[in-house]
Structure 1
Amino acid sequence: MRYKLLTAAFAASVALPFAAPAGATDLEVAHWWTSGGESAAVAEFAKAFDATGNHWVDAAIAGGGNTARPIMVSRITGGDPMGAFQFNTGRQAEELIEAGLLRDLTDIATKENWREVIRPASLLDGCTVDGKVYCVVVNIHSWQWLWLSAKAFADAGVPVPKNWDEFVAAGPALEKAGKIPLAIGGQPWQTTGAFNVLIPAIAGKDVFLKVYKDHDAEAAAGPEIAKVFKAADDARRLSAKSNVQDWNQATNLVITGQAGGQIMGDWAQGEFQVAGQVAGKDYFCLPGLGVNELISTGGDSFYFPVIDDPEKSAAQEVLASTMLSPETQVAFNLKKGSVPVRGDVDVNAANDCMKKGLEILASGNIIPDTNQLNTEDTNNQLNDLFVEFFKTPSLTPEEAQKRYAEIIANAD
C-alpha cells in the first residue's frame, strides 16, 4: 500500500462532507479516550463535527475499553443508546449487530467509496458482517512498539538499545541507576498486549497467525511459544517495581526518565507529544521490538445505534462521513499517534516514529490485531492468565504456557 502526498491545492479544495443540515442536533458520542494525548485527538473529531452545524456531546468513560464497553453495551441493550460509540476494530460488536441494535452503514460506505479509500482493505472487513458495513474505521493502531527514554539510559550510562535482547541486557544498569527497566500498568490488557507483541517478535509472524487465526493448540504449546514465555518471564522481572495502574501513567514513567521503556501501542505517541518530547531525541521507538519490524493493523471504529429520531439519525450519517474526511483524518491521527485509514491523505507532518510505521505498512509486513481474531471471551481469559503470570513469580513459564494452550484450544 502507498500513502500519497497531496498537493496543498488539493488539500485546500477538500471541503467538509456536509454543509450544516436543517435539522442540526446534539449527538452524544461515547468513547474511552481520556488521557492527555487522547483528549487532544478526540477534540479534533468534535471540532470537525461541530463545524457541520451539529454538536458533539462528549461522553468519555475513564478506565479504558474493559471498563467502558460493558457500560456502553448496557445502555444500548437497555434502550438508552448514545448517538455513536467507539469500539476497537474487530469482533467486539458482533452480538449487538446480530441483535439488530446497530445501524447498517452500507449505503454511506458505497456512496463515499470506503472500499477504495480505506487501506488496508482488511480494516473495512472488520466492520463488515454478512456483506453489510456497520462501522467507521478511524485509524490504524499497532501494538508492536517498544518506547525508550533517552534520559533513563543516559542516567544509567548505557546506550539506548536497538532490540529486545539489548534492552533486557541493560536491565541491571537501569536498576542500579534507580530506574524501573520496563513500565507496565495494572490494567489487565496491558500484560496481555505485551505478550502478544513478544509473539511475532520472538516466534515470528507465522506462529502468531497459527495461534490466533488458526487457534492451533499444538503451536501454542510448542517450542516457539516456549521462547516467548521465556521473554515474558524477563519482562515480568524487569517490570516488577512498576506500580502504576493506567497505561498512560506507565508512559509517563518513560517520559520523565523514571523507566527505561514500555511495550505499548502507538497511541503512546500522543502522550509524548503532549509532553513536548521529540521522537529520535527525547524518546526512541523500536517497531517489532527491533527484532522483527512488523506492525498490526488494529485501531478504533465508531458504531451507530439504531435511534428512532430522524434528526439524530441524520446527524449520525454526518458524523460517519466527517470522521473519514481527509482533513479530519490527518488532524485526528497526528494527535492520536496513529495512522490515517485513508490512503490518499497528506502525512508529511508525521514524526520519525510514525514514519517508521508508515514504511512498514507500505512494505506489507503486517499482521491482524488480536481483536480482529479473538472474541472478547478469549481476550478476557488471556487477560486473567497474564495478570496472574505477571503478579505471581511462582507461576512458572511452563505452567503458564500449558494454561495458555488450553485457552487457545477452546477459542472460538
Structure 2
Amino acid sequence: MNFRSMAAVLAASVVLPLGAANATDLEVTHWWTSGGEAAAVKVLADSFNASGNNKWVDGAIAGSGTTANPIIISRILGGNPMGATQMNTGRDAEELIKAGLMTDLTPLAEEEHWKDVIRPAKLLDACVYEGKIYCVPINIHSWQWMWLNRHVFEDNGMAVPKNWDELAADAPKLKEKGITPLATGAPWQVEGIRNVMQAGIGGKDLYLQINDKKSEEAVRSDQNKKVWTAFAQARDMVDPAYSGRDWNVATNMVIEGKAAAQIMGDWAQGEFGVAKKVAGTDYDCLPGLGFNAQLDTGGDAFYFPKNSNPEITKAQLELAKMLLSKEVQVKFNLVKGSLPVRGDVDLEAANACMKKGIEILSDLNNVLPSTEQMLDSDTQGQLQDLALEFFSSKMSVDDAIDRQADIISQAQ
C-alpha cells in the first residue's frame, strides 16, 4: 500500500482524537477480541490505569490484523489518530513512519536501555527506521505450532501424533468417527498453515531462501514441492464449513474434541488457558509440526501516532515504558500465551508448551524471522490469495508452485 503522497498532505492535520474525554484518556486500538486475548488486554489496561494518572480507552477492532490495519491506517491518515495502536512487529507501519506520522521513541528507549533487555535483537530492529525507534515490541509470537487434543486420540484407541505425517495418516480414521482432522478458518489462517509448512516441512534454509532471498530456484525445488503436497493433504482434512470461521472458534473445536488438531500461532494457547486445559495432559503442542523445532519471532508491537496535545504525548510515553516493565511482561505474556521480549524476567510459572518455546528460542540457530519482517504487505497479500485459492479448489501442486514463483520473483 503506497500512501506517502496522501500522508504528506494530511500530516499537518494530525490532532487530538475526536471525542477524547480529557488529556489523560488514551485510546488504544487493537484486534485482540477472543477470550484469551481479552484477558490479556485487561492486564495491560489495569496496569496502565493503576497509576491513577491515565485511563486506557479501549478501541478493540473485531477481526484480524487484515481487517484492523486498514482501519488503523485510515484513521491516522485522516487526521484522527488514536493514542496508541497494536500492529504486528514488522513492516506494517513502514509507510506511516516514512510519512512522519509516528512518534520517535528513541529517547525513551535509550533511557530504559531497551537494546540491552529486548531479545532477540531483531524484534527491536524491526522498530528502527533511519536509526530511530518507532515502536515497542511487547511479545514474541510464533506461528510454527500444531495443537492436538490428546483425548481425541486416547479415547479412540489411537496414539497421539508426534508430527504432521502421523496426523495425516490418522485423518481417515478420524473422519470415520465424525471428527474433523484439522480445524481452521480462512483466509489468513489458511496462509498461516502454508507458511508453517514452509519452515516445518521445507526446513529453515528453504524458508529463508524463498522469503528472504526471494529465490525462484528455491520455490521450484523438490523440497518446496513437498511443502505444497502437505498443504494439499491439509485441504482434504478440513470440514466444509471452514471458510469465514474465526481462528478462536477453530481452536475451540480442538478444545471441545470436535477437531483433532489446529495449526495456529501460540496465541491459541490463551484459549486453552481460559478453558482450564493443561498442556501435556489435555493437549499437546508440536513446534515445527514435529519435524523442525524452530520458531519465528514475530509478535505484537505498539506504535504511537504523533499528536499535538502534550498531555497525550506524555501518556503515550508512560504507556510505552509500562509495556516493557518486568511485571507487565510476565503477567501479560502468561495470559496471552506468548513469550516476553525481555530476557531478564522469571517465567517459572510458564506451562509446558511455553517452556518448550523458551528452550527452542534460547538457541539462535532455531530462530526464524517472521514473514512480516521479510515480505512487504503486497507480497503477503498475494501469497494469501494464492493459498486460499489453492485450498478452496483443485489447483495442482505444480500450478501453485508456478504462481508462487511469479509472486516471489517480483517481491520487494
TM-score, structure 1 as length reference: 0.93
**Counterpart-to-counterpart distance in 1, 2:282 and 2:221:** 39
2:237 aligned residue:
238
Shift of residue 24, structure 1, vs aligned partner:
7.0
CA deviations on 1:188-230 (whole Å, 9 max, x unpaired) are 2111111111111111101100000011111112211111000
CA deviations on 1:285-332 (whole Å, 9 max, x unpaired) are 001111011111000000000000010000000000000000000000
**Counterpart-to-counterpart distance in 2, 1:286 and 1:167:** 11
**Counterpart-to-counterpart distance in 2, 1:155 and 1:408:** 44
**Counterpart-to-counterpart distance in 2, 1:283 and 1:242:** 24
1:9 aligned residue:
none
Shift of residue 135, structure 1, vs aligned partner:
0.1
1:351 aligned residue:
351
SS of residue paired to 1:203? coil
1:142 aligned residue:
142
Give % identity.
Answer: 56
1:44-55 equivalence runs, <5 A: 44-53=43-52, 54-55=54-55
2:334 aligned residue:
334
The amino acid of 1:403's aligned partner reads: R
Shift of residue 240, structure 1, vs aligned partner:
4.0
Shift of residue 241, structure 1, vs aligned partner:
3.4
**Counterpart-to-counterpart distance in 2, 1:155 and 1:34:** 32
**Counterpart-to-counterpart distance in 2, 1:69 and 1:411:** 21
Does the 8 A contact of 2:91 with 2:372 survive in 1?
yes
2:158 aligned residue:
158
**Structure 2 vs 1, CA of residues 201 and 284 (structure 1 numbering), >3 Å: closer, same or farther?**
same
1:375 aligns with 2:376: yes
Does the 8 A contact of 1:183 with 1:254 survive in 2?
yes
**Counterpart-to-counterpart distance in 2, 1:200 and 1:308:** 44
SS of residue paired to 2:236? helix
The amino acid of 1:30's aligned partner reads: T
2:32 aligned residue:
33
The amino acid of 1:142's aligned partner reads: S
**Counterpart-to-counterpart distance in 1, 2:302 and 2:30:** 9
The amino acid of 2:237's aligned partner reads: L
Q: Which moved more, 1:235-244 or 1:205-214?
A: 235-244
1:178-189 equivalence runs, <5 A: 178-186=178-186, 188-189=187-188
1:76 aligns with 2:50: no
Name stretches of at least 5 consecutive residues in structure 2 with no aligned partner: 1-21
1:226 aligned residue:
225
**Structure 2 vs 1, CA of residues 85 and 288 (structure 1 numbering), >3 Å: closer, same or farther?**
same
1:316 aligns with 2:338: no
Shift of residue 155, structure 1, vs aligned partner:
3.8
1:10-409 equivalence runs, <5 A: 25-53=24-52, 54-186=54-186, 188-243=187-242, 245-364=245-364, 365-392=366-393, 394-409=394-409
Shift of residue 124, structure 1, vs aligned partner:
0.3
CA deviations on 1:71-109 (whole Å, 9 max, x unpaired) are 000000000000000110001111000110000100000
Does the 8 A contact of 1:211 with 1:219 survive in 2?
yes
Does the 8 A contact of 1:184 with 1:242 survive in 2?
no
**Counterpart-to-counterpart distance in 2, 1:124 and 1:216:** 27
Shift of residue 156, structure 1, vs aligned partner:
3.3
SS of residue paired to 2:293? coil
**Counterpart-to-counterpart distance in 1, 2:309 and 2:236:** 54
The amino acid of 1:127's aligned partner reads: C
* Moved segments of 4+, more than 6 Å: none
SS of residue paired to 1:59? strand
Does the 8 A contact of 2:102 with 2:306 survive in 1?
yes
**Counterpart-to-counterpart distance in 2, 1:242 and 1:345:** 42
The amino acid of 1:391's aligned partner reads: S
Give the count of matched residue pairs. Answer: 388
Shift of residue 355, structure 1, vs aligned partner:
0.4
**Counterpart-to-counterpart distance in 2, 1:201 and 1:369:** 13
Does the 8 A contact of 1:211 with 1:217 survive in 2?
yes
Does the 8 A contact of 1:180 with 1:242 survive in 2?
no
Does the 8 A contact of 2:201 with 2:289 survive in 1?
no
1:12 aligned residue:
none
**Counterpart-to-counterpart distance in 2, 1:104 and 1:217:** 37
**Structure 2 vs 1, CA of residues 42 and 184 (structure 1 numbering), >3 Å: closer, same or farther?**
same
Shift of residue 367, structure 1, vs aligned partner:
0.4
SS of residue paired to 1:170? helix
Name stretches of at least 5 consecutive residues in structure 1 with no aligned partner: 1-22
**Counterpart-to-counterpart distance in 2, 1:31 and 1:318:** 18
**Counterpart-to-counterpart distance in 2, 1:408 and 1:273:** 38
**Structure 2 vs 1, CA of residues 24 and 328 (structure 1 numbering), >3 Å: closer, same or farther?**
farther
The amino acid of 1:299's aligned partner reads: G
Does the 8 A contact of 2:23 with 2:309 survive in 1?
no
**Counterpart-to-counterpart distance in 2, 1:398 and 1:237:** 17
**Counterpart-to-counterpart distance in 2, 1:403 and 1:178:** 35
**Counterpart-to-counterpart distance in 2, 1:157 and 1:410:** 49
